[in-house]
Each structure stands twice: as structure tokens, then as C-alpha cells.
Amino acid sequence: MRLESRVAIVTGAGGGLGRAHARLLARYGAKVVVNDMDQAAAARVAGEIVAAGGEAIPVAASVTDEAAVATMIGGVMSNWGRVDILINNAGILRDKTFAKMSLTDFRLVLDVHLMGAVICTKAVWEIMRQQQYGRVVMTTSSSGLYGNFGQSNYGAAKLALVGLMQTLGLEGEKHNIRVNCLAPTAATQMTHGVLAEEALQCLDPKLVSPGLLALVAEQAPNRAILCAGAGHFARANITLTKGVQVGGDADAGEQVIAQWEQIGDRTDELVPAYGFKQAERELAAAGYVAPTMAER
């Protein structure tokens, strides 16, 4: 797979995962915008790419600053005329139990992870629509998918990115814009102090980045969640069980409790193609056949 004709933006690319992503995309031929809050860090990574024979420009900008992001995208368009790939990687941690966490720290993490991805994606969305091509990757986390003690703010932001991916993937599909999520486990500035040192040695960010290629390729999937770490790759899905039709009788609540195990039985569970699929099935179980998304 080659990316010679592609222009990629990687946020938070001054070190860790972002640096590994940027270097890998450049190695496959993409022109790379190395974005980071730290100008020196961004310049260092861009320099590494250029020294290896690639093309890269460093841009210091906060993903939460709409004006700075707009300026960055304007510069990319002036230099290279297109944006094909956006890797929303920038993030921070402010870990504490929910009882001890301030609302300021909760909002800050959501602002960087969620709104930062929204601002950057919005800035390139019309460009990708017009050129009828785009690959967007959100960085989610097992903390969002499954929860982690002391990470309510981070987990909420990371699962919100999955919801954003699901809808943008549907809206962008007809314009050949594919939106996916990467859930990495890697030894970065954000994980030091969280994992033991010997575990960190197994979690080189370079072992995550190969999964990125599948999400930005010509034949990339759409609305996939790829989990990656230590050279291991897996898919995560948000599923819906077959469930039970209880109805609306006076004892419906007691019936839900009594049939809890059957309601949760994962036999024949499905991955809905869109959110309204739940309502379609619920109405069908109640005896009313609703028009599908394709029919509306």
C-alpha cells in the first residue's frame, strides 16, 4: 500500500503515538502535517521525517483553538492543495476518582479529546466532501469502551468519539469519507505512572501504528473500532441482543427483572447498521413494521 498522493494531518504528533503515526504515514509516502502544542516537538518530528526522505511540515496549534486550527488547514491547502487523512490523536489525562474530580478537570478532558476532534474534523470536512475523498480516525480507548477506575472524564470523552464516528461515518459515506476509531494501548507520556515499567516496555507506540494503515487505506472500512497494542489487533463492536418483548402490562417492570438473563442473552446478537435499527426492531416486536432507513 502506498500513500504518495495523500496529505495527512496528525494531531498531538510531537511524541508518543502521534509521532509513531506521523512517521509511519510518511514512510508510506504521505505528506504529513505534524501538529502539536509544542513547536519544538513538532519541528523535531517533522525533521525526522524529512531526514528519512519524506515530506512534513510542523504546525504548533491547540486543537481546541478554532482560529488556530483554521489557520493550520489554510496553510495545508496553500502548500499541498488537499487534505486526505486526519488522525485525531491529541489528548490529555486528568485522572481522579469521580468523587475527587473537579468539574474543571472533567470539562478540560472533554474539551481536548472530544471538542478538539470535532473542531479539527469540522475544519477538513467540507474539503473532503468537495474532493470526494477522506479518511478520518478518532482515537478512542478501552477506558471509554469498557470503563477504567479513576477515568470518568477520559472514558466519557473517548466513548463520545465512538458516537461521533458512527454518525460521521454514515453522513460521509456517499462522499467517500470513511471514519473509524483506533483504541490504542501504548507506552506514552499519558500512560507512565499508570502501567508497570516492564509492561510499558512491551507497549512501544510503533506496535500500534501499523493498524492505522488499515483505517486510512483506499479500501478502508467505515465505522470500525480497531483495538491495538503490543502488536496485537482486535475489533470491538457495540452490539444489540435479540431481547424479549414484554409489552406494556402493569407488571412490565417485574417482567424485565424476571427475564433479565434472557434479555441479556448474546445468542444471535447483532451490530446495528444505524441507530434507528433498535427502534425498527422494537416496533416490529410490538406488531408495527416501520419503514427502514433505506425506505424513508
At 173, the amino acid letter reads E
Residue found by looking up cell 498531538 in the block: 12
Query: How far is Cα of residue 256 from the mean position of the Cα atoms in its chain?
Result: 34
At 133, the amino acid letter reads Y
- What does 18-87 look like in DSSP terms, one character per residue? HHHHHHHHHHTT-EEEEEES-HHHHHHHHHHHHHTT--EEEEE--TT-HHHHHHHHHHHHHHHS---EEE
Residue 154 annotated in active site:
yes
Find all residues with CB under 8 Å of 223, minimum gap 6, and list them. 165, 166, 169, 170, 179, 180
Instruction: Dig out the grid coordinates for 140 from the structure.
Output: 478512542
Select which of 28, 133, 154, 288 is catalytic. 154
Find all residues with CB under 8 Å of 126, minimum gap 6, and list them. none
Three-class secondary structure of residue 133 per DSSP: coil
How far apart CA 31 and CA 284 sit, in angstroms, is: 50
Q: Is the sign of the CA dihedral 243, 244, 245, 251 positive or negative?
A: negative
The residues carrying an active-site annotation are 154
